[in-house]
Amino acid sequence: MDNTWPLWEVFIRSKNGLSHKHVGSLHAADEDMAIENARDVYTRRQEGVSIWVVESKHISASNPSKSEELYDPAKNKIYRHPTFYDIPDEVGHM
Amino acid sequence: MIEKDLNQIFQDRIDADDRIEARDWMPEKYRQTLIRQISQHAHSEVVGMLPEANWISRAPSLRRKVALLAKVQDEAGHGLYLYSAAETLGAKRSDLLQQLIDGTAKYSSIFNYPTLTWADIGAIGWLVDGAAIMNQVMLCRTSYGPYARAMVRICKEESFHQRQGYEIMIALSQGSEEQKAMAQDALNRWWWPSLMMFGPNDAESKHTAQSMAWRIKRKTNDELRQAFVDSSISQIEYLGLTAPDKDLKWNEERGHYDFGAIDWDEFWQVVKGHGPCNKERIAARRKAQEEGKWVQEAAMAYAAKRKQRAQDQQTRVA
Ligand SMILES: [Fe+2]
Ligand SMILES: [Fe+2]
Chain B residues with CB inside 8 Å of A33's CB? 299, 303
CA separation for the pair B74, B51 (Å, rounded): 15
Tell me if A78 is assigned to some domain. yes
CA separation for the pair A24, A22 (Å, rounded): 6
CATH number of the domain that residue A54 is part of: 3.10.20.520
What pLDDT was estimated at residue B107? 96
pLDDT in tens, A44-90: 999 999 999 999 999 999 998 888 888 988 889 999 999 999 999 99
- Positive or negative: CA dihedral B106, B112, B118, B119: negative
Q: Which residue of A has its CA nearest to B297?
A: A3
pLDDT at B315 over 90: no
CA separation for the pair B181, B187 (Å, rounded): 10
How many domains does one find in chain A? 1
Nearest Cα of chain A lies from the Cα of B43 at a distance, in angstroms, of 16
What pLDDT was estimated at residue B207? 86
**Residue closest to B55 by CA, chosen among B150, B120, B2:** B120
Nearest Cα of chain B lies from the Cα of A41 at a distance, in angstroms, of 6
**Residue closest to B194 by CA, chosen among B167, B150, B227, B168:** B227
Strand partners, B280: none
Chain B contact for A43 (CB, 8 A cutoff): no
What pLDDT was estimated at residue A1? 52
pLDDT at A4 over 90: no
Across the range B123-136, mean pLDDT stands at: 97
Chain B contact for A65 (CB, 8 A cutoff): yes
CA separation for the pair B90, B13 (Å, rounded): 21
pLDDT at B226 over 70: yes
Q: For residue B317, what are the contacts with CB-CB under 8 A and spacing of at least 6?
A: none
What pLDDT was estimated at residue B229? 98
pLDDT at B301 over 80: yes
Interface test with A, best of B24, B45, B81 (most A CBs within 10 A): B81
Tell me if A76 is assigned to some domain. yes
**ipTM confidence score:** 0.90
What pLDDT was estimated at residue B314? 87
- The shortest CB-CB distance from B84 to any of A4, A24, A61 is to A24
Structural contact between residues B51 and B277, judged by C-beta atoms closer than 8 angstroms = yes
Tell me if A94 is assigned to some domain. no
Closest ligand to Cα B52: 2
pLDDT category at B143 given cuts 50, 70, 90 is very high
pLDDT in tens, B206-225: 888 999 999 999 999 999 99
Tell me if A2 is assigned to some domain. no
Chain A contact for B306 (CB, 8 A cutoff): yes
Q: For residue B62, what are the contacts with CB-CB under 8 A and spacing of at least 6?
A: none
What pLDDT was estimated at residue A64? 87
Secondary structure (3-state) at B143: coil
Chain B contact for A45 (CB, 8 A cutoff): yes
pLDDT in tens, B168-217: 999 999 999 999 999 999 999 999 999 999 999 999 988 889 999 999 99
Tell me if A23 is assigned to some domain. yes
What residue type is assigned to position B93 of the chain?
R
CA separation for the pair A45, A12 (Å, rounded): 13
**Residue closest to B38 by CA, chosen among B166, B154, B156:** B154
Chain B residues with CB inside 8 Å of A25's CB? 84, 87-88
Nearest Cα of chain A lies from the Cα of B124 at a distance, in angstroms, of 22
Tell me if A91 is assigned to some domain. no
What is the span of the domain harbouring residue A54?
A: 7-86
Flag if B77 and A41 touch (Cβ within 8 Å).
yes
Structural contact between residues B181 and B112, judged by C-beta atoms closer than 8 angstroms = no
The whole-chain average pLDDT of chain B stands at 96
Q: Which residue of B has its CA nearest to A66?
A: B24
What pLDDT was estimated at residue B184? 98
What separation in Å is there between the alpha carbon of B277 and the centre of ligand 2?
A: 20
pLDDT category at A5 given cuts 50, 70, 90 is very high
Tell me if A35 is assigned to some domain. yes
pLDDT in tens, B274-292: 999 999 999 999 999 999 9
